[in-house]
Amino acid sequence: MSEYRLAEKPALDALTAMGYIALHHEAAMLMRQEANRVLLKPVLIEALQALNEGLGAEDAEAIYSDLSTLSDNEEWQRRLRGAYSRRLKGETKDRPVALIDFKRPDRNRYHVVRQFKVEAQRSRIADLVVFVNGIPLVVIEAKCPLKAADRSGQAFEQIKQYERDIPRLFYPNAFNIVTDGMATLYGATGAPAKFYAPWPDPWPRTRDEFADDLTKDFWCLLEPSRLLDLLAHFIVFESDPDTGRRIKKVCRYQQFRAVNKAVNRVAEGTKKKGLIWHTQGSGKSLTMVFLALKLKTHLTLDAPTLQNPNILVLTDRIDLDDQISKTFVACGLPNPKQAADVKALREAVARGGSGQILLSTIFKFQGSKEPIPNSEDWIVLVDECHRTQEKDLGAFLQATLPDARYFGFTGTPIKKADKDTYARFSEPGETYLDKYGIDDAVRDGATVPILYEGRKTEWSINEAEIDILFDRWFVDLSDEKREKLKQKGVSLALIAKHPERIRLIARDIWEHFKQTCRPDGFKAQIVAIDREAVVIYRRALAEVIAADLTKDGMAEADAAAKAERMIACVFSKSQEDDKPSEDADIEAVRAELRAHYLDADGEKTAKKAFKGSGDEPSFLIVCDKLLTGFDAPNEHVMYLDKPLREHGLLQAIARTNRTCSIKRPDGSTVDKPHGRIVDYIGVTQHLDDALSSYRADDVQNALRDLDLLRRDLRKTHAEFKRQLRLLGLDSMDEKAAAYAIEKLVADGREDDWFELQRLGRHFVRTYGDLSPDPAILDFTEDMKWAATFLRLAQQAITKDESLDHLTYSGKIRDMLEEHVRATGLTTTVRLRNITDPDFKDDFQTEEKSEEELHEAFVRKAAELKRVTRELVDKNPAQYGRFSERVLEIIRRFEEGQIAAAEGLKDFEDLTGGIAAEAGAHDELGMDERAFAILRIMEPHASETDHTALQSVAIEVGDLYAGAQKSQPSWFFMDGYKKELRREVRKLLRPLELDDANGVRDEIEDYAVHAYAEGH
């Protein structure tokens, strides 16, 4: 009931206030004809006839039938946007059919249905479904906070189940929403939970205009005109370059805001420029795609300036040009072409006329002064626009396209003194048309914060004291050699490359890396001062790693080879590298440079391997390359031994700011908490100087001192302890406190638990983020207590496994497992599998106290919830009823209808049923998957001979097994799936099933998962 009161009802109220008509689920059922269909037929037919002049009832029926069988989300998207034609009755050629009127939102029909049930092999009921013209576009899962694993964590799980079990509801789906009445997150169809995000900014309105966050969030995402705008212009399908899979992406709020500001400016026609700063890692390339898409299609608005504009996308580097080009092509944007030079650009304009999208680099405009005709028809999107002002490139561009509209994009802030960039891309008196800064991205979780720490000061290099440092580092040389070096010039690089200094730093890097990155599979970049330093670092680091591996028992030769494979160097080649030298030292360096240089293919392979999950390589050593544009989310640390300033510093450190989740071998995941910059050269000692050319507001949190995290740890620890005292839990052990908080929640004090859980999580997370810093040592015991308590309390309150401990870093988890064993809490915390010999111990109820019975019930409930969830994932037709039975026993226990002993007896009976079902296929001589298909068929074949059913189930299983073998990715191939459906229908025909088509669809839904690649 609280779920409805706290989340569903407010969501429903917010929608009806915006003009959605709430339909009772029974009324909606009548409109659907059959319970396994999802379109509201009369609404759709009425809308089709209203939006398409002269469309008859017969044609509307045919369109409904056509759409009912459409099972591809991307094709649905195309048709919803207007790419849908068919031959209508009495006409001689195909004619466009509109499913939605984007320009006049009031002409569409908007409904919301609560408790929307879709029948399938595993029927599901969605909390709320939003319809436009009878087409389900948004599924909303409402969960009360008490049942959330991590805010709306359980809701994510449910959405995933729905997408798997009732895929029909998601064929036309635009996106999904999860809400607990307070927090609201949205994500694209099929997106993992980590890609769900909030929409905090209601631009062009303000937060003050809304009564609460839920009303604001629903207006942002579902107000009819905004929903249509999102559907029309802000959803793309991008091809994964490695797998070829199509990945659906929905814009983030800053992309929606920036694109609409720019489009509105073009539509109004009075202003011709705009500067957009979206910090690195926040999806700037995709923002350019969305802008090009809306400028090109502008489905929701008309303006003379938008009739059919030409769009030119410019970058300042070949690799960026390639990257953006690939993004545009991967997202299916209409006809993007790459222009090789200004001549090719002129030819394309003369040949192609209006409506082109061209991609090029700014350098192609070098020396160009002759204006292109009709340049007012061009809209120019310039990436990293601050760099276009160098070498008069901006002036040449302006001369070539004098009347174009210009929108500049940058991933770093513009310098205070950079008047040229502001003049070229900003209207007078305006700095940024749209700004999404470093703090915004961190707050939203689009990027992770970057922490820095300066290592030993004797390794850093103060340029003002360079002569003193030279004497210190080169004290062992003879006077003659020192003088010779001095005559060449004492430079920063000379000192930075001192082999002994690099050897000491290499050892420090390896020790730091072992504690910070290695336990969870993260990786690191080392930035050396020049190419020579790159190979000196490589040699020193390889020696340190090899010595450590040997110490751990690896053979010396194997350790040396492994160490080599863990390091890759990426640097540019010089003409000098291949020349012989009489100087032995120079020749040795050149030999190493030749040995470790990677050509284009080698570099590509190294970068791909670095982004992969193996530890070869774990380190990339660079000096100039890969400091901009290189995107490796698993890069956690940058070891900095090169003085960087301004854009160079901001762009380099941003290599570590990407969010990343790494899956461990045990199936759990760990999130990258932040990026780290470990500074050996002394840049961060003079951070204000390094960033002084920017506005303070733009860069104030570009790098956060580790000291702030130490302070945060002390603060979060104090707040957690205070809350424990307030609830009277501070003197208890973990188990006693967990059961005490369970009682408080049962007495209605849910909010106290939410607050304690929030503070506890924050404390444990901050501790993990700071580790291995010595400052954590004072808090270790309290961290172990807090993490174990949270895990136990989650089990006690929700009868489920706590997800928290599965996301802790490897070293924290090892520490907790040791703590749990030492305190004797192992059996309380540990969740055993049904096959574990000790699983049945809890069923012995004699001579157990009430407290022991209660604890046994909690443990069994959590274990069986997990077991049945895993079984249902594998085979819903077989195990769905067991999962529902577990939840029913828990509900009766929580409502006081049964005691713990009685609940344990019910669980024992249920366990026997699961075991019997698990072995049933063996008794019939069938494999598990064919038996699951049999279970799907049985309810529809009460009159059919069971032997015949078994035989067909085996044949159907063999059919899909053959598909899995011959076409491992068959489940992505619509044409192949259709062929398989036809074959299955033929096999089912002799059985005379109640609903052969429905059974065929249920079998396919099951097969997509059971016979997937690598099953």
Q: Report the pLDDT value the prediction gives residue 854, as an integer from 0 to 100.
A: 85
State the alpha helices, DSSP H only, in 18-165: 25-32, 41-51, 57-68, 73-80, 153-165
Rounded CA-CA distance 344/331 in Å is 24
Q: How confident is the model at residue 50 (pLDDT cuts 50, 70, 90)?
A: very high
β-pairing verdict for 246-250 and 235-239: antiparallel
- What's the whole-model pTM score? 0.77
Nearest to 121 by CA among 1002, 957, 1010: 1002
Pairing of strands 635-640, 661-663: unpaired
For residue 91, pLDDT over 70 is answered with yes
Query: Residue 1: its pLDDT value, please?
Result: 42
Residue 487 confidence (pLDDT): 60
Q: pLDDT tier at 249 (50, 70, 90 boundaries)?
A: very high
- Percent above pLDDT 90 for the chain: 28
Q: What is the pLDDT of residue 151?
A: 43
Q: Average pLDDT of 641-658?
A: 84
- Residue 217 above 90 pLDDT? yes
* Percent of the residues in the chain that have a pLDDT greater than 70, as a whole number: 89
Q: Which one, of 103, 123, 100, 125, lies nearest residue 114 by Cα? A: 125
Q: What is the pLDDT of residues 103-143, one digit of tens each?
A: 999 999 999 999 999 988 678 889 999 999 999 999 999 88
Across residues 179-187, what is the average pLDDT? 89
Q: Which of 522, 747, 556, 751 is nearest to 638 (CA)?
A: 522
pLDDT at 804: 65
- pLDDT at res. 979: 85
Q: What is the tens place of the pLDDT at every residue in 325-383? A: 666 665 556 667 777 777 777 777 666 567 788 887 777 777 778 888 778 888 999 88
The span from the CA of 189 to the CA of 250, in Å, is 9
Assess whether pLDDT exceeds 80 at residue 26. yes
Which of the four pLDDT bands, split at 50, 70 and 90, describes residue 651?
A: confident
Q: How confident is the model at residue 486 (pLDDT cuts 50, 70, 90)?
A: low
pLDDT in tens, 265-276: 999 988 999 999
Question: Does residue 37 carry a pLDDT above 50?
Answer: yes
Q: Average pLDDT, whole number, for the chain?
A: 83
**814 vs 417: CA distance, rounded Å:** 51
In this predicted structure, which of 10-14, 764-768, 850-854 has the lowest mean pLDDT?
850-854
pLDDT in tens, 985-999: 888 888 877 777 778
What pLDDT was estimated at residue 659?
A: 87
Residue 149 reports pLDDT greater than 60: no
Name which residue leads in pLDDT, 631 or 975.
631
Confidence of residue 965 (pLDDT cuts 50, 70, 90): confident
CB of 412 closer than 8 Å to CB of 647: yes
| pLDDT (tens digit per residue) in 522-563 | 999 999 998 889 999 999 999 999 999 999 999 999 999 999
Looking at residue 460, its pLDDT comes to 66
CA–CA dist 547, 503 (Å, integer) = 13
**pLDDT band at 150; cut points 50, 70, 90:** very low
Q: What is the pLDDT of residue 206?
A: 94
Highest mean pLDDT among 136-145, 275-284, 539-548, 657-666: 539-548
pLDDT tens digits for range 756-772 = 988 998 898 888 878 77
686's tokens: 């003079």
- At residue 471, the pLDDT reads 63
Mean pLDDT of 135-161: 72
Q: Is the pLDDT of residue 225 over 90?
A: yes
Instruction: Kindly give, in sequence order, each residue whose CB lies less than 8 Å from that of residue 816, ignoring residues fewer than 6 positions away.
Output: 784, 787, 788, 805, 808
**Residue 146: what pLDDT?**
46
pLDDT in tens, 425-468: 888 888 899 999 888 888 888 888 888 888 766 666 666 666 66
Least confident of 87-101, 289-303, 331-345: 331-345
The two three-digit tokens of residue 827, written as one number: 């059996």
The angle formed by the CA atoms of residues 573, 576 and 579, to the nearest 5 degrees, is 120
The average pLDDT across 972-976 equals 73
